[in-house]
Chains A and B, each alone.
Chain A
Amino acid sequence: MRITKRAATVALLTAATVALTGCSTAASTGGSADAADCAPSDGKVNLTFTSWIPGIEDVVDVWNKANPDIQVAVQTGPNGNGGTYANFFNQLEAGNAPDLGQIEYDALPNFRVQDGLMNLASCDGVMDAKSDFVDWTWGQVSFNEDDSVYAIPQDSGPMAMFYRADLFAANNIAIPTTWDEFATAAEQVRATGSYITNFSQSDINQFAGLVWQAGGTWFGNDGTDWNVDLTGDESIKVADYWQDLIDRDLVSTQPPWTTEWDNAYNTGAAWTWNSAAWGANSIASGAPDTAGKWAVAASPQWEAGDEASGNWGGSSTAVFTGSKHPYEAAQFALWLNSSSESLTMLNESANLYPAAKDGLDLPVLKEGVEFYGNQPIYDVFAKASGEVSSDFVWGPTMTQTYNDVSDGFKAAVSGNGTLAEALTTGQSATIKALQAQSIPVKE
């Protein structure tokens, strides 16, 4: 753990990192970390912005043309966990981090405990923008604290169920609306020789989305200590549910994002996929032979009549500590993630599903989608977006947590152990990882 060098950074310490850097000043007030000094700079400002969204240059060009005094240069790289996060940490260490960077929600806590993020709460217009964004996305960037905004929400991944409308109809199987019905439908689908869906053994994010929907959360922070709760009631409920389907051979367990996986959907061997808004394109390009046969419905619920959704993925635009122009950076981040011009371009070039409320009504998201039988599928996701709980919190060591749980899941689908045991292992490994980094954690 690095000890902070400058008073400016000290002001940004989260309660957790105050304890971790050894300062023992009253840190119990939780959410009241002071906001960065955020005044406009004189003259022309040049900002750097790292993002891995293909085509982001074109969006930034639009900003640069309209704002000759705030010029943004785009830097790029692989996706966050593919190396860009590691680079951000290296750059923060070396003191040459960009002004702005794309960070997924699940990585924000990690950057926060490492003092990487600026609190933008005092920047003009940032607090006012709160109501412009879907509630839970604002919770992710503010850590549900007042007077804190560590990033501007960019995109989101509300979940719904993609399903083969033609196959359900031809076999007279009802579209499941609860998880109980889903299990029953799974038996009926299995009787036809196919699988109702594929359990993603290595994509823990999808599983997290299911726990999120069930009302669980994996982490908590009381202002001082982190609380790790991978084995909470909701998590175990979801794990046991899927374990049962796996044990009875009612779901397939191919590794996701592989050709076999695509092929299963392309040939009708798998009928549903509970996935995020951005998944629409994955199915369309992975299973081109099934065009017109798919539809989208709300995710099955735990209790009939509930209206809860999970979320899978999504990212934000953060301003790094060390940026000399937080004011201008914040203005750019707000424009990038809430102007309809920018959101339309981001949706076209990279299928980003907006975190801004207005973005959900973009004309392009209201149209029928040919691949889905001209169903206006994004209406389903827009509704789901409003049903995602704001309570779900990510931890500061998600990469490690994902790896540990995913190892356990892979073993479980091949018959060694269970999903619940994998969560237990992940729980203790995560606590160890936090302790190893001197991040205060409750056992």
Chain B
Amino acid sequence: MSALTESPAVSRASKRARNAANPAPKGPKESPLARVGAMTVMLVFTLYFLIPIWWLFIAGTKSSGQFTSTNPLWFADFNLFANIGNLVAYRDGVFLKWMLNSALYAGAGALLATLFAGMAGYALAKYRFPGRELLFNIVLGGVLVPATALALPLFLIFSQVSLTNTFWAVFLPSLVSPFGVYLTRIFAAASVPDELIEAARLDGAGEVRTFFTVSVKLMFPALVTVFLFQFVAIWNNFFLPLIMLRDETLFPVTLGLYAWNSQVNQIPELRGYVLIGALLSIIPLIILFLLLQRFWRNGLGAGSVK
């Protein structure tokens, strides 16, 4: 699962590699040796990231008997669908419930987080008010604080208001995205011209309407990027649910699979379910990356190229 979060780096790297393969006419010339060297490094890293996923896929297609006794990187009898069937049927389909939970936490959470981050970034970029830079620096500081460090204090706070072990205990903290505020501010400053906002105001649009009808469209690549990053972060979030949740029906898929995996010593058949579950749990992320890639590449690029 963690390998996937690295894939932006891979894709960016491969894009760069492609650019290197077709150098612009005026660019510096590369020696063939350097190109071969660069390609080799790329290839090694691509394999490094893809082999675990390949292994996971292969492992997911094997029956438990063949899992230990056959080549880990090549197929044995193809049992993928039987394995999925068993997983889905195990304990009344609790795995499907976990997938739905993850989709809800990550989907709704990332959507709202993007909205909030977009509004905050836009406000910080386009309005002048006292304390603006201070506010921005505090948000920027938030980028540096790892989410895991906040989990325990959050647990103690949520305990005070009896919100632990509820949907909200995981959902509310996911709405915060300091990185999103940072990115949308940079992007709004660069891509939403003040003149356009002036024009909208002259046409009689209120600030809220200006934001939603004019600015959001211009900021779209950045918003998609924030959404994607936040979605991946929530989907992969593990420590916060681990601390907050006791009720199995609220678990996201990461915590559920981890709980199963921690019992493999005593219930060995769980290992098969963990493997096939892990394989299924990365599919939504892959789909999302493929669907949104042209947007988020623009979004990431915009900040750096200008």
Contacts and interface: CB of A to CB of B under 8 A. Distances in A.
Interface stretch (A26-34, A76-84, A183-191): A76-84
Interface string A249-269: 000000001010011001100
B242 A77 contact: yes
- Please report whether the interface of chain B is mostly helix, strand, loop or mixed according to DSSP: helix
Nearest to B271: A285
Q: Which of A48, A54, A259, A289 has the most CB of B within 10 A?
A: A54
A278 B267 CA distance: 9
Contacts of A281: 266-268
Interface string B135-172: 00000000000000000100110011010110000000
A350 B262 CA distance: 13
A90 B68 CA distance: 39
B243 interface: yes
B80 interface: no
A76 B259 contact: yes
A54 B270 contact: yes
Interface string B96-135: 0000000000000000000000000000000000000000
B300 to A, nearest CB: 34
A288 B65 contact: yes
Interface in B261-276: 261-270
Contact of A94 (B156, B247, B268, B270): B156
Given A77-B242, A94-B155, A259 B263 contact: no
A422 B180 CA distance: 48
A95 B258 contact: no
B246 A50 contact: yes
A419 B242 CA distance: 35
Given A54-B270, A78-B242, A78-B258, A289 B263 contact: no
B194 interface: no
Contacts of B264: 257
A77 B261 CA distance: 11
Q: Which of B69, B162, B247, B270 has the most CB of A within 10 A?
A: B69
Contact of B259 (A78, A96, A267): A78
A96 B246 CA distance: 12
A98 B267 CA distance: 25
Contacts of B260: 54
A82 B267 contact: no
A344 B265 CA distance: 20
A75 B155 contact: no
A82 B258 contact: yes
A282 interface: yes
A96 B64 contact: no
Contact of A288 (B64, B258, B259): B64
B69 A263 contact: yes
Interface in A169-195: none
A286 interface: yes
A52 B263 contact: yes
Contact of B263 (A50, A54, A94, A285): A54
B69 A289 contact: yes
B89 to A, nearest CB: 14
Interface string A82-115: 1100110011011110100000000000000000
B173 interface: no
A96 B65 contact: no
B91 interface: yes
Q: Which of A79, A267, A282 has the most CB of B within 10 A?
A: A79
- Size category, B interface: 35 or more
Given A259-B68, A262-B68, A87 B268 contact: no
Contact of A77 (B91, B156, B160, B259): B259
Contacts of A48: 246
Interface in B246-305: 246-248, 255, 258-270
A351 interface: yes
B243 A75 contact: no
B8 interface: no
Contacts of B262: 52, 78-79, 82-83
Given A54-B91, A78-B259, A350 B266 contact: yes
Nearest to A265: B68
A286 B68 contact: yes
B165 A259 contact: no
Contacts of A263: 68-69
Contact of B68 (A50, A54, A266): A266
A220 to B, nearest CB: 29
B67 interface: yes
Contact of A285 (B155, B156, B246, B268): B268
B286 to A, nearest CB: 25
Contacts of B69: 263, 266-267, 289
A83 B246 contact: no
A321 B245 CA distance: 21
Interface in A226-257: 257
Given A77-B259, A82-B262, A351 B246 contact: no
B244 to A, nearest CB: 9
Interface string A48-86: 101010110000000000000000000111110011001
B4 to A, nearest CB: 22
A278 B265 CA distance: 9
A370 to B, nearest CB: 15
B65 A289 contact: yes
Contacts of B159: 91, 94-96
Given A54-B260, A82-B262, 13 more contacts: A54-B263, A78-B242, A78-B255, A79-B259, A83-B258, A86-B243, A95-B159, A259-B72, A266-B68, A281-B268, A282-B266, A285-B64, A351-B266
7 contacts: A87-B242, A90-B243, A94-B159, A94-B160, A259-B72, A266-B69, A267-B69
Interface of B: 64-65, 67-69, 72, 91, 152, 155-156, 159-160, 162, 164-165, 242-243, 245-248, 255, 258-270
Counting from the closest, the 3 A-B pairs by CB-CB distance are A75-B246, A82-B262, A94-B159
